[in-house]
């Protein structure tokens, strides 16, 4: 019985240590979530204004032609997937990776029909294990990523589409709603076929020409959407991690309480047995 009690006590200590870790991780994620949420919300007005300008130019330019606006016969598809570098974030990574994998299995018969751009170590490792074609990857993003951190993969993804390497580009990321809710989202990034649809024409003068400005702004707009999704993904990651660590802390507390109750019962049983043996010994001598 003594050995059993020592084991229970050791297990209680182990659970208490785990609880301290998960509680600390929850608090760290909560502090980072606020900054990430503010960054994600701050990026949206810029993306919206850029879309407004691009739409205005496209609506006011007759017979505008640009590779990023042209719908082509789909022979090959590109996927840009945003995940995290670390785990312990509940279903944050698994939900988005499951969604991408299901789409690829339904749409493509072979690996020659699609390519992948991956942001985050979890996504990269997932696709590598399955020998899926990764064109470019970005890992080790800071907690507050800047556009420079993802510029390379965003530029390559947009440039390859414009050059005809694939005929459509989809963006997969977790859209941040709140700390509890993150929605795995699929967005067709390219072609931007609805940019000028129904937009009002603003009174602007462009130099050297509207077409020239559109030539520069369209890739920037697509890259801005990617960066905005990365910021959304970071906020979602911290929200998911905070929620997951909060649940882990609660579960650890329940397990500690159950083990403490078991330990007290075992200790009480051991004391009762010792008293019984003492009484029995005293009776035998009398």
Query: Looking at the structure, do residues 11 and 124 belong to the same domain, yes or no?
Result: no
Q: List, edge to edge, every strand of the sheet that includes 182-190.
A: 134-138, 114-119, 77-82, 168-176, 182-190
Q: What's the CATH code of the domain at 74? A: 3.40.1380.10
Distance CA 265, CA 247 (A): 27
Task: Please check whether residues 105 and 182 belong to one and the same domain.
Answer: yes
Residue 114 is part of which domain span?
Answer: 43-243
The answer to whether 79 and 153 have CB atoms below 8 angstroms apart is: no
* Cα-based distances in Å from 150 to 80, 147, 157, 205: 12, 6, 11, 32
Picking from 34, 3, 7, 57, the residue whose alpha carbon sits closest to that of residue 259 is 7
Ramachandran angles phi, psi of 130, nearest 5°: -100, 10
Same domain, 254 and 182: no
pTM: 0.86
Per-residue pLDDT in tens (0 to 9) along the chain, 286 residues? 555 888 999 999 999 999 999 999 999 999 999 999 999 989 888 888 887 877 777 776 666 677 888 888 999 999 999 999 999 999 999 999 999 999 999 999 999 999 999 999 999 999 999 999 999 999 999 999 999 999 999 999 999 999 999 999 999 999 999 989 999 999 999 987 655 555 555 566 777 777 788 888 889 989 999 999 999 999 999 999 999 999 999 999 999 999 999 999 888 888 888 888 777 777 777 6
14 and 99 housed in the same domain: no
**Residue 36 within a domain:** no
Q: Which pLDDT belongs to residue 194?
A: 59
Q: Tokens standing for 114?
A: 């699609």
- pLDDT confidence of residue 61: 67
> Do residue 83 and residue 17 come from a single domain?
no
Q: How far apart are CA 271 and CA 84, in angstroms?
A: 52
If asked whether residues 154 and 179 sit together in one domain, one would say yes
Q: Which parts of the chain are beta strand (E)? A: 77-82, 114-119, 134-138, 168-176, 182-190
């Amino acid at each position: 019985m003594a050995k059993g009690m020592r084991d229970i006590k050791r297990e209680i200590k182990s659970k208490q240590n785990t609880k301290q870790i998960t509680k600390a991780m929850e608090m760290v994620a909560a502090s980072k979530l606020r900054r990430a949420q503010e960054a994600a919300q701050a990026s949206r007005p810029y993306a919206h204004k850029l879309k407004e300008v691009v739409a205005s130019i496209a609506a006011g330019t007759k017979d505008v032609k640009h590779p990023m606006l042209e719908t082509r016969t789909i022979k090959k598809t590109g996927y840009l997937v945003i995940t995290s570098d670390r785990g312990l974030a509940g279903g944050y990574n698994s939900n988005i990776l499951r969604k991408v994998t299901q789409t690829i299995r339904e749409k493509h018969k072979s690996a020659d029909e699609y390519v992948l751009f991956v942001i985050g170590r979890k996504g990269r490792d997932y696709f590598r294990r399955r020998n899926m074609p990764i064109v470019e990857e970005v890992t080790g993003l800071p907690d507050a990523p800047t556009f420079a951190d993802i510029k390379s993969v965003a530029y390559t993804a947009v440039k390859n589409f414009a050059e005809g390497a694939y005929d459509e580009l989809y963006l997969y990321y977790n859209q941040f709603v709140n700390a509890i809710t993150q929605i795995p989202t699929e967005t067709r990034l390219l072609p931007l076929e609805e940019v000028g649809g129904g937009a009002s024409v603003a009174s602007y003068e462009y130099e050297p020409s509207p077409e020239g400005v559109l030539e520069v702004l369209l890739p920037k707009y697509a890259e801005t959407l990617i960066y905005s999704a990365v910021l959304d993904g970071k906020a979602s990651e911290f929200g998911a991690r905070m929620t997951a660590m909060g649940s882990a802390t609660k579960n650890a507390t329940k397990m500690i309480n159950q083990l403490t109750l078991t330990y007290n019962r075992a200790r009480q049983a051991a004391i009762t047995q010792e008293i019984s043996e003492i009484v029995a010994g005293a009776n035998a001598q009398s």
